Structure 1
Amino acid sequence: MKEYTKQRNLKSFGLAFLLLSSTAIFAQNKDAVVAAIVREAQVNSQLENYAFELVDMIGPRLVGSPQMQQAHDWVVKQYTALGADARNEAYGEWRSWERGTSQVTMTYPRIKSLEGTQLAFSPTTKEKGVEAEVLAMPLFRSQADFQSWLKTVKGKIVLIGMNPISGRSDANWKESASAKAYEKYQALKSEQLRQWELSMSYTGSTRRTLPLALEAVGAVGVIDSYWTELPGITRIFDAKSRQIPVFNVALEDYGLLYRMAERGVRPRILLQGKSRELGTAKTYNSIAEIKGKEKPNEYVVLSAHLDSWDGASGATDNATGVITMMEAVRILRKVYPDNKRTILVGNWGSEEQGLNGSSAFVEDHPDIANNIQVVWNQDNGTGRIVRIAGSGFEKAYEYIGRWLQYLPEEFRNEIQTSFPGMPGTGGSDHSSFVQKGIPAFGLSSTSWDYGKVTWHTNRDTYDKIVFDEVRQNAIIVAVLTYLACEEPGLVSRDKIVLPIDKSGKQMSWPTNLQSKRTSGN
Structure 2
Amino acid sequence: MDLLYTIWDIVHYLQKNLTTKSSEIMNFKITCTAVFFSITALVQAQTQQEVVDALVKEASENSQLEELAYELLEGIGPRLVGTPQMQQAHSWAVDKFESWGISAKNEQWGQWKGWERGITHIDMVYPRVETISGTQLAWNPSTSKKGVTAELVILPTVANSAAFENWLPSVKGKIVMVSMKQTTGRPEANWKEYATEESFEKMKKDKAEAERKWRENMENTGYDRRTIVEALEKAGAVGIVQSYWSEGFGANKIFSAYTKEIPMVDVSLEDYGMLYRMVEHDAKPKLRIVAESKDLGMVPTFNTIATIKGTEKPEEYIILSAHFDSWDGGTGATDNGTGTITMMEAARILKKIYPNPKRTIIVGLWGSEEQGLNGSRAYVEDHPEIVSNIQAVFNQDNGTGRVVNLSGQGFLNAYDYLGSWLHAVPEDVSKHIETHFPGTPARGGSDYASFVAAGAPAFSLSSLSWAYWNYTWHTNLDTYDKIVFDDIQNNVILTVILTYMASEDPDRTSRVKSVLPIDKRTGEPGVWPTPRQPERNGGAN
| From 84, 91, 101, the counterpart of 1:83 | 101
Segment drifting more, 289-298 vs 55-64: 289-298
Q: What's 2:243 paired with? A: 225
CA contact (8 A) 2:308 2:355 kept: no
Q: What's 1:328 paired with? A: 346
Question: Are 1:94 and 2:112 counterparts?
Answer: yes
Q: What's 1:169 paired with? A: 187
Alignment of 1:264-343 (within 5 A): 264-343=282-361
Query: How far did residue 217 of structure 1 move?
Result: 1.3
Query: How far did residue 291 of structure 1 move?
Result: 0.6
- Structure 1 residues 203, 29: CA separation in 2 closer, same or farther (over 3 Å shift)? farther
Q: What's 1:433 paired with? A: 451
Q: What's 1:362 paired with? A: 380
* CA distance in structure 1 between the aligned counterparts of 2:218 and 2:156, rounded to whole angstroms: 10
CA contact (8 A) 1:233 1:457 kept: yes
Segment drifting more, 78-87 vs 59-68: 78-87
* CA distance in structure 1 between the aligned counterparts of 2:317 and 2:198, rounded to whole angstroms: 59
Question: Are 1:236 and 2:247 counterparts?
Answer: no
Q: Match of 1:516, as an amino acid?
A: E
Alignment of 1:339-350 (within 5 A): 339-350=357-368
- Structure 1 residues 24, 145: CA separation in 2 closer, same or farther (over 3 Å shift)? farther
Query: How far did residue 199 of structure 1 move?
Result: 2.3
Q: Match of 2:218, as an amino acid?
A: M
CA contact (8 A) 1:83 1:290 kept: no
CA contact (8 A) 1:94 1:280 kept: yes
Alignment of 1:147-166 (within 5 A): 147-166=165-184
- Structure 1 residues 37, 184: CA separation in 2 closer, same or farther (over 3 Å shift)? same
Q: Deviations over 1:309-357 (max 9, x none)?
A: 0111111111111110111111111111111111101000000000000
How many residues are aligned here?
519
* CA distance in structure 2 between the aligned counterparts of 1:24 and 1:40, rounded to whole angstroms: 24
* CA distance in structure 1 between the aligned counterparts of 2:513 and 2:23, rounded to whole angstroms: 46
Q: What's 1:516 paired with? A: 535
Question: Are 1:43 and 2:50 counterparts?
Answer: no
Q: Deviations over 1:253-312 (max 9, x none)?
A: 000110011122221100100111111110000111111111111110000011000111
SS in 2 for 1:99: strand
Question: Are 1:477 and 2:499 counterparts?
Answer: no
CA contact (8 A) 2:147 2:289 kept: yes
SS in 1 for 2:71: helix
CA contact (8 A) 1:324 1:470 kept: yes
CA contact (8 A) 2:407 2:436 kept: yes
* CA distance in structure 2 between the aligned counterparts of 1:203 and 1:102, rounded to whole angstroms: 31
- Structure 1 residues 394, 145: CA separation in 2 closer, same or farther (over 3 Å shift)? farther
CA contact (8 A) 2:457 2:511 kept: yes
Query: How far did residue 22 of structure 1 move?
Result: 2.3
Question: Are 1:506 and 2:529 counterparts?
Answer: no
* CA distance in structure 2 between the aligned counterparts of 1:57 and 1:116, rounded to whole angstroms: 23
SS in 1 for 2:296: strand
SS in 1 for 2:201: helix
CA contact (8 A) 1:93 1:517 kept: yes
| From 86, 99, 103, the counterpart of 2:121 | 103
| From 124, 127, 143, the counterpart of 2:142 | 124
Q: Deviations over 1:110-136 (max 9, x none)?
A: 111000100001111123101111011
Query: How far did residue 13 of structure 1 move?
Result: 4.5
CA contact (8 A) 2:408 2:415 kept: yes
Q: What's 1:450 paired with? A: 468
| From 54, 70, 73, the counterpart of 2:72 | 54
SS in 1 for 2:156: coil
TM-score (norm 2): 0.93
Query: How far did residue 18 of structure 1 move?
Result: 3.2
* CA distance in structure 2 between the aligned counterparts of 1:384 and 1:335, rounded to whole angstroms: 23
CA contact (8 A) 2:253 2:475 kept: yes
* CA distance in structure 2 between the aligned counterparts of 1:146 and 1:33, rounded to whole angstroms: 69
Q: CA-atom RMSD, angstroms?
A: 1.5
SS in 2 for 1:274: strand
| From 214, 224, 231, the counterpart of 2:232 | 214
Q: What's 2:83 paired with? A: 65
- Structure 1 residues 8, 146: CA separation in 2 closer, same or farther (over 3 Å shift)? farther
SS in 2 for 1:343: strand
Q: What's 2:432 paired with? A: 414
| From 138, 151, 165, the counterpart of 1:133 | 151
Q: What's 1:495 paired with? A: 513
Alignment of 1:374-393 (within 5 A): 374-393=392-411
* CA distance in structure 2 between the aligned counterparts of 1:512 and 1:492, rounded to whole angstroms: 19
CA contact (8 A) 1:208 1:238 kept: no
* CA distance in structure 1 between the aligned counterparts of 2:222 and 2:504, rounded to whole angstroms: 55
Structure 1 or 2, whichever has the larger Rg, is 2
Query: How far did residue 149 of structure 1 move?
Result: 3.0
- Structure 1 residues 140, 435: CA separation in 2 closer, same or farther (over 3 Å shift)? farther
- Structure 1 residues 204, 350: CA separation in 2 closer, same or farther (over 3 Å shift)? farther
Q: Deviations over 1:393-438 (max 9, x none)?
A: 1111100011101111111111000111111111000000000000
CA contact (8 A) 2:309 2:356 kept: no
* CA distance in structure 2 between the aligned counterparts of 1:481 and 1:510, rounded to whole angstroms: 26
CA contact (8 A) 2:377 2:531 kept: no
Query: How far did residue 11 of structure 1 move?
Result: 4.3
SS in 2 for 1:473: helix
Q: What's 2:9 paired with? A: none
Q: What's 1:462 paired with? A: 480
Query: How far did residue 207 of structure 1 move?
Result: 2.8
* CA distance in structure 1 between the aligned counterparts of 2:65 and 2:96, rounded to whole angstroms: 12
Q: Give ranges in structure 2 of 5+ residues lacking alignment.
A: 1-20
* CA distance in structure 1 between the aligned counterparts of 2:399 and 2:33, rounded to whole angstroms: 50
TM-score (norm 1): 0.97
SS in 1 for 2:247: coil
- Structure 1 residues 193, 106: CA separation in 2 closer, same or farther (over 3 Å shift)? same
* CA distance in structure 1 between the aligned counterparts of 2:411 and 2:330, rounded to whole angstroms: 37
* CA distance in structure 2 between the aligned counterparts of 1:13 and 1:461, rounded to whole angstroms: 63
| From 200, 203, 219, the counterpart of 1:185 | 203
SS in 1 for 2:58: helix
* CA distance in structure 1 between the aligned counterparts of 2:23 and 2:509, rounded to whole angstroms: 39
Identity score, percent: 53
- Structure 1 residues 16, 140: CA separation in 2 closer, same or farther (over 3 Å shift)? farther
- Structure 1 residues 200, 11: CA separation in 2 closer, same or farther (over 3 Å shift)? farther
Q: Match of 2:308, as an amino acid?
A: I
* CA distance in structure 2 between the aligned counterparts of 1:61 and 1:148, rounded to whole angstroms: 42
SS in 2 for 1:88: strand
Query: How far did residue 9 of structure 1 move?
Result: 5.5
